[in-house]
């Protein structure tokens, strides 16, 4: 058994933190190898993320999807908010440079562009939500309150952790204000349902519909 797998099994913290940190580190390197390569690095990063989720699956019991009306409603509401307030504030790292667009990079009718877009859409829908929700909503929110975080139920409301965790989540995104409001909404969903799966579903719905919005409206800065 690999040392990585052993560490996942031996530490509930490691099982929830290490996969997210690995994914973030891969994200940091995404733009370091040229404009064209960033699309394939994203797909590679998503494949690694999927493998990490597979490794976590039996060790993180709260990482289970839940599909219900509330999750869908929150996911759609967050999407509307994300799009609606865009342009009302300055984004982090906004240099005015053109955002990545695979159809400009490879050509409007290029199969490579379609593969890059679909790969990105799958990654942001199926890989990003479980990794982020486990780290922020399951681990970080509870760890700020109790270092023995598994002893804290998911439905416990702690005002300071509620705000701080959402702010940290927000500043993980270029659209920091939207990210903060998004974090508050997803954390509220976890607390109200006493489980993580609703937030994973809501997060996935927001990301998937945002990806469709990008391709329909050409607003690539959301990618």
For the CA atoms of the chain, what is the radius of gyration?
17
Both structure tokens of 141: 């929110």
Both structure tokens of 150: 């598994």
Q: What residues in the chain have per-residue pLDDT under 50? A: none
Read off the DSSP letter of residue 60. -
pLDDT digits (tens, 9 = 90+) for 49-68: 999 999 999 999 999 999 99
3-state helix, strand, coil in the chain (%, to 5): 70, 0, 30
pTM score, whole prediction = 0.94
Q: What is the pLDDT of residue 95?
A: 59
Q: What is the pLDDT of residue 159?
A: 97
pLDDT digits (tens, 9 = 90+) for 82-126: 999 998 888 887 655 677 899 988 988 899 999 999 999 999 999
For the chain, domain boundaries: 63-222
Q: What is the pLDDT of residue 30?
A: 82
Q: Which long-range contacts (CB under 8 A, 24 or more apart) does 37-45 make?
A: 38/100, 39/100, 39/102, 39/105, 39/116, 39/119, 39/120, 40/116, 42/116, 42/119, 42/120, 42/123, 43/115, 43/116, 43/119, 43/120, 43/123, 45/123
């Amino acid at each position: 058994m690999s040392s990585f797998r052993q560490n996942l099994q031996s530490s509930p913290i490691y099982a929830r933190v290490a996969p997210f940190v690995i994914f973030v580190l891969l994200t940091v390197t995404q733009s370091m190898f040229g404009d064209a390569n960033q699309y394939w690095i994203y797909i590679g990063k998503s494949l690694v993320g999927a493998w990490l989720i597979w490794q976590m699956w039996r060790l993180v019991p709260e990482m289970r999807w839940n599909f219900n009306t509330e999750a869908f409603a929150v996911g759609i509401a967050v999407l509307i908010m994300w799009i609606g307030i865009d342009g009302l504030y300055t984004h982090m790292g906004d240099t005015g440079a053109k955002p990545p667009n695979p159809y400009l990079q490879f050509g409007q009718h290029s199969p490579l562009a379609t593969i890059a877009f679909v790969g990105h859409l799958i990654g942001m829908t199926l890989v990003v939500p479980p990794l982020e929700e486990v780290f922020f909503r399951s681990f970080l929110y509870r760890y700020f309150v109790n270092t023995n975080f598994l002893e804290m139920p998911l439905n416990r409301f702690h005002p300071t952790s509620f705000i701080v965790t959402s702010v940290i989540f927000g500043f993980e995104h270029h659209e920091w204000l939207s990210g903060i409001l998004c974090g508050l909404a997803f954390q509220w969903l976890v607390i109200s349902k006493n489980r993580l799966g609703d937030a994973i579903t809501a997060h996935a719905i927001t990301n998937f519909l945002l990806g469709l919005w990008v391709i329909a409206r050409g607003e690539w800065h959301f990618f």
